[in-house]
Amino acid sequence: MTPGGERRLVALDPAAVPIDNDYYSDVGDSWWDARGPLRALHDMNPARVAYFDAVAARLGPRGSLRVLDVGCGGGLVAEPLAALGYRVTGVDLSSGAIETARDHARASGVAVTYRVGSAYALPVGDAAVDVVVVSDVLEHLHDLTAAVAEMSRVLRPGGVVAFDTINRTAAAYLVAILAAERILGIVHPGTHNWRMFVRPGELAALFARHGLRPAELRGLAPAAPVHRLVAAALRGRPLGGFHLTRSAAVSYIGHAVKTQER
């Protein structure tokens, strides 16, 4: 299949398109180390959580809204949303990540429900949640169609799916893989595969097939200039935060609305 094709409409063969998703099971307590191996996620988190909150809060009072965080990992997004008052359930395939998330939420005094489960078979009933959050996950899924179908199934009509992911462009390869993984070591090598990145048009087509109407798409990029990013990365320091932009050439964030029952 050619690089320009809408290829994420079909499942990818894990043997032909390998990715090291198992790494996230081995991170342990470092999930919550802002200077640790996942420090880039911590830098992105304030912008992402603020966006997800702004989208979700339009649906009603936070305390009345049921949020499902798909691929929640160690709880970096689920816990802040729960702290804002949402009724949050986090689901992840890694039992180790779920245990870390539970321990941190307990220590922080934040009520979050965590479950071990797959994005392809979410342990939630039909139309059971108001908001699905899928953050830094879509680019790790070989069968994106099956995952989107499940997100639509559990989402009630009028609810929203809020996401962020990485575009499949030359710029994304240079930034997310060549620079972040291979040169600067910001991201663990092998945790991304360029062929699994998702173009906005592909995601919009998948959403449309499953009763989800795309509502907004923005770019998501570091706020600091390149020379400061490189200096921070080389010294193992935080990257200085992210902000929303007009360009979706590398990473992007957005949401879609559930329009109908399937």
pLDDT digits (tens, 9 = 90+) for 108-125: 999 999 999 999 999 999
Q: How far is the CA of 27 from the CAs of 32, 135, 152, 157, in angstroms?
A: 10, 18, 30, 36
- pLDDT for position 110: 98
Asked if residue 27 belongs to a domain, the reply is yes
Summarised one tens digit per residue, pLDDT across range 181-198 is 998 888 899 999 999 999
Domain limits at 102? 17-258
Please compute the mean of the pLDDT values over residues 128-136 and round it to a whole number: 98
For residue 6, pLDDT over 60 is answered with no
Domain assignment of residue 112, yes or no? yes
pLDDT confidence bin for 228, thresholds 50/70/90 = confident
> Is residue 2 situated within a structural domain?
no
Half-sphere exposure (CA, 13 Å, Cβ side) for 234? 7
State mean pLDDT over 76-104.
98
The answer to whether residue 4 is domain-embedded is no
Residue 207 forms part of a structural domain: yes
The CATH number of residue 163's host domain is 3.40.50.150
C-alpha span between 91 and 193 (Å, rounded): 23
Please tell me the distance from the alpha carbon of residue 232 to that of residue 228, in angstroms, as a whole number. Answer: 6
Instruction: Give the count of domains, the chain.
Output: 1
Residue 144 CB contacts under 8 Å (≥ 6 apart), including other chains: 8, 11, 138, 198, 202, 206
Look at residue 144 and tell me if it is in a domain: yes
- pTM flag (> 0.85): yes
Q: How confident is the model at residue 255 (pLDDT cuts 50, 70, 90)?
A: very high
Residue 9 lies in a domain: no
Residue 11 lies in a domain: no
